[in-house]
Structure 1
Amino acid sequence: MTARGDLLSGLAPHPAGTPAEGFGVYVHWPFCAAKCPYCDFNSHVRHGGVDQERFAAGLVAELTTMARLAPGRTVTSVFLGGGTPSLMDPAVVGRVLDAVGRLWTVSGDAEITMEANPSSVEAERFRGYRAAGVNRVSLGVQALNDEDLRFLGRLHDVDQALVAIETARATFPRLSFDLIYARPGQTVEAWEAELARAIGLAADHLSLYQLTIEPDTRFEALFNAGKLQIPDPDLAADLYEATQRVTEAAGLPAYEISNHAVPGAESRHNLVYWRYGEYIGVGAGAHGRVVLPDGDGRFATMTERNPEAWLQRVEAGGHGVIETETIVGESAGDEMLLMGLRLREGIDPARYERLAGRSFDEKRIADLLQHEMVEILPDGRIRASHGGWFVLDAVVADLAA
């Protein structure tokens, strides 16, 4: 790590980036009305309120600095994540998106996504976000029964979720929402029924996450104290299988381990990540990856996680980056594997070889094929099999060895 004053200096920008995979801009709004007990994201509660004008200026300033790392790009996606970006004033969203438009060319069909919680959905605010340029909303619904919503610490009930879904569908061209499964006491039959109801509401995209116990969360403390039980691995696997079966039958197959879409409605922004494309990240705790001048490696950035400390850094020096890393050779290849094998489309071995500077071990490929952990597609791409997705970390480690 270099001294802070030099973190972003001395890097000659790559002239093209990753046009085939796209160029994304991630904007982190780190504030929430309450901290969910399962959440390990960089989110913070500020009961005294947030100076939105000041934070908006900070985001614009950091975007301006980051644009020097990736000049001349065409933005294919912007993602307003959090935290709860739907707590932002529409005017703040407008300022941020206007800045993106000033700093780069924005594709005419760019995907502009905002995360929203049903408890913060108001039709007037949604119309304001749409006017600012947002064209896709991702709603954190998480469950379609009130008991489990209370268990998950959500501030909305099912009725509010349904109103939020209806409001979003009436306002934005595209809608996705999240559900969490493998909740305590959940049966396969109950999950199938809930999922079928969700598909009827979802339009074209669903993100379906298995409940996991993350470090430093309230659920971890309860789990360690024996006060929280989650489904055993066999039931969790059955719930996963049910998820694949029900979504596939409804025309929303998995295109990534936890994401399901009507073909053509995949999240373009997340595809930039999973295809190992180029993106910049602004806001407290945001990460970025821009292409190094040689065209193969990546220059990684990470900003200060504490919102107020991030803002002070931006106001003092134009950015809140506290750590950078040069990712080249096998490290870049490993990142590409870790991201790309999450996708049903898999990865291109030739691209891996260019990034990593090495080829896959044919014996390891043969062993994974024999154990039906990977598949070779007709065009030569390698993807994790249905069974390989269950043990993806092991598959990645084997290929990268």
Structure 2
Amino acid sequence: MITRETVEGGFGIYVHWPFCAAKCPYCDFNSHVRHQPVDQDRFAAAFERELAHFAELTGKRTIQSVFLGGGTPSLMAPATVERILTAISDRWTMDDTVEISMEANPSSVEAERFRGYRAAGVNRVSLGVQSLIDTDLKLLGRLHDAKTARTAIDTARETFPRLSFDLIYARPGQTPAGWEAELRQAIDLAADHLSLYQLTIEEGTPFHTLYHAGKLKMPDQDLGAEFYELTQDVTAAAGLPAYEVSNHARPGAECRHNQVYWRYGDYVGVGPGAHGRLTVGASRLATSTERHPETWLETVERHGHALVENTGLSEEEQGDEFLLMGLRLTEGIDMKRYERYAHKSLDPNRLNALKEHGMVEEIGENRVRATRDGFFVLDAVVADLAA
């Protein structure tokens, strides 16, 4: 049964390619380095089987977006990408305006390979540039330099209808003036979308070890807030306002796949460690797959999928997730839709208190969103509303 909520949020497919050429010291994603060539034919066959399993769960639905993430999907051969996309289009209906995005690292960009991805159906590329400063790229463990990044951006713009790239700010030793200059360079290079993330220290990463050993100095909270404010002001003035906490686009160029997440739509997640949210019958399911790539592969070959979680979400969990995702967007959330998930209204006293403190604001009938101040402490705002 397809409900009003899933229609409102959309439907997408996330494909996780877990391999990287090197592991970055700040990264806590499910990515793995292999020093022997990956058997792409075998992995492609496993993706086909897991996609078939999910198609049986969801039934025939119309896809608004496909996202090839990782890891480094641009390490896949174009033929591998084509097999995966064909498996998706064979099992679901592709919307006429479907967005098919692919993450790529500048160090793995080759014009011929990019043309192969485009021929396979990819129409949007997201480049993991991270910095336009060579010394900072080395600090971040990246395999490319700024010149390589610029060349990759040029190649992507020539090949794909849509382009985005990522930058990380509030890096050790970075100043607001330095970031502003770098950001303005990025805007000059950008087509219509930028993802701008504040560097965070994630448990289990080399940066986490260095930070707690006192060997990595991070900007304090006040300086972090200054970086954030500067980012919002510069991008908005350049016509790329934030439409989500860390994502900026010209109107109409927003990433449709990520909007499926933030609007709490349905999405299939296939590949090692992929997560999904699916409406099946009257239930909303949380899914996740085996994280270790070779274990995932062997499990899919034996059972047709590698699900390790396929759990129904309670009303409270659905309401909390809807708040957590939806309040990331500048468009905010529909409070009536929250009530349909959580089977309760937002506490008017808590809502009014947050409004009085300038953390949220009501926009139109039944909609509420975080303010700019609220975005900076969004976890606390969500926790307060969900209590």
1:240 alignment partner, SS class: helix
Unaligned runs of 5+ in 2: none
Correspondence list, 1:371-382, <5 A: 371-382=357-368
Pairing 1:99–2:87 present:
yes
Deviation at 1:17, TM superposition (A): 7.0
CA contact (8 A) 2:51 2:87 kept: yes
- State the 1:70 CA deviation: 1.1
Q: Compute the displacement of 1:328 (Å).
A: 2.4
* Residue equivalent to 2:69: 81
CA distance in 2, matches of 1:321, 1:39: 24
- Are 1:331 and 2:317 matched, yes or no? yes
1:181 to 169, 182, 195: 169
Counterpart for residue 384 of structure 1: 370
Q: Deviations over 1:150-203 (max 9, x none)?
A: 000000001100110000000000000000000011111110000000000011
Distance in 2 (alpha carbons) for counterparts of 1:179 and 1:225: 26
Instruction: State yes or no: 1:227 paired with 2:215.
Output: yes
Q: Tell me, what secondary structure is at the counterpart of 2:264?
A: coil
Q: What residue number does 1:366 align with?
A: 352
Query: In structure 2, which of residues 135, 139, 147 is the aligned counterpart of residue 147 of structure 1?
Result: 135
The 5-angstrom pairing of residues 285-300 of structure 1 reads 285-294=273-282, 297-300=283-286
* Residues 336 and 366, structure 2, Cα contact 8 Å, conserved in 1: no
Can you list the C-alpha shifts for 1:208-248, whole angstroms capped at 9, x where unaligned? 00000001001011111111011111111101000000000
Q: TM-score, normalised by structure 2?
A: 0.99
Q: Distance in 1 between matches of 2:352 and 2:277?
A: 32
User: Kindly, what percent of the aligned residue pairs are identical?
Assistant: 66
Question: Per-residue displacement from partner, 1:88-144 (whole Å, max 9, x unpaired)?
Answer: 000000000001110000011100000000000000000000000000000000000
Shift of 1:324: 1.9
Specify whether residues 181 and 110 from structure 1 end up closer, same or farther in structure 2 by C-alpha distance, changes over 3 A only: same
Once the 2 structures are TM-superposed, how far is the Cα of residue 292 of structure 1 from its aligned partner?
3.6
Distance 1:357 1:18 in 2: 17
Which residue does 2:245 correspond to in 1?
Answer: 257
Matched residue of 2:29: which SS? coil
2:160 maps to which residue? 172
* 1:118 equivalent in structure 2: 106
Give per-residue Cα distances to partners, 1:21-42, cap 9 Å, x unaligned: 2110000000000000000000
Gaps of 5+ in 1: 1-12
Task: Please tell me whether residue 245 in structure 1 is matched to residue 239 in structure 2.
Answer: no
Q: Distance in 2 between matches of 1:347 and 1:17?
A: 12
Query: Does 1:50 pair with 2:38?
Result: yes
- CA drift at 1:378: 1.8
Task: Kindly indicate whether the alpha-carbon contact (under 8 Å) linking 1:176 and 1:207 is maintained by their aligned counterparts in 2.
Answer: yes
Count of residue correspondences = 387
Correspondences of 1:7-46 after superposition (within 5 Å): 14=2, 18-46=6-34
Whole-angstrom distance in 1 between the partners of 2:62 and 2:141: 39
Q: Which amino acid aligns with 2:76?
A: M
Query: Structure 1 CA distance, aligned partners of 2:318 and 2:6?
Result: 14
C-alpha separation between the residues in 2 aligned to 1:235 and 1:184? 11
Deviation string 1:16-74 (CA, Å, 9 cap, x unpaired) is 87122211000000000000000000000000110000000000110000111111210
Amino acid at match of 2:19: F
Deviation, 1:380, is: 2.6
- Give the distance between the partners of 1:336 and 1:16, measured in 2 at CA: 14
Matched with 1:129 is 117
CA RMSD of aligned residues (A): 1.0
Give the counterpart of 1:344 among 330, 345, 361.
330
1:285-324 equivalences under 5 Å are: 285-294=273-282, 297-324=283-310
Give runs of ≥4 in structure 1 deviating > 4 Å. Answer: 13-17
User: Aligned partners of 2:40 and 2:67: how far apart in 1?
Assistant: 18
Conservation of the 8 A alpha-carbon contact between 1:17 and 1:290: no
Contact (CA 8 Å) 1:17, 1:70: kept in 2 or not?
no
Deviates more, 1:321-330 or 1:205-214: 321-330
Alpha-carbon separation, structure 2, partners of 1:147 and 1:137:
25
C-alpha contact (below 8 Å) 1:80/1:114 kept by paired residues: yes
SS state of the match for residue 125, structure 2?
strand
Give the Cα separation in 2 of the matches to 1:378 and 1:22: 22
Instruction: Check whether the contact 2:58–2:280 (CA below 8 A) recurs between aligned residues.
Output: no
The match for 2:56 is 68
Q: CA deviation at 1:14?
A: 4.4
2:386 counterpart letter in structure 1? A
Which amino acid in structure 2 is aligned with residue 318 of structure 1? G
* Cα 1:55/1:308, change in 2 over 3 Å: same
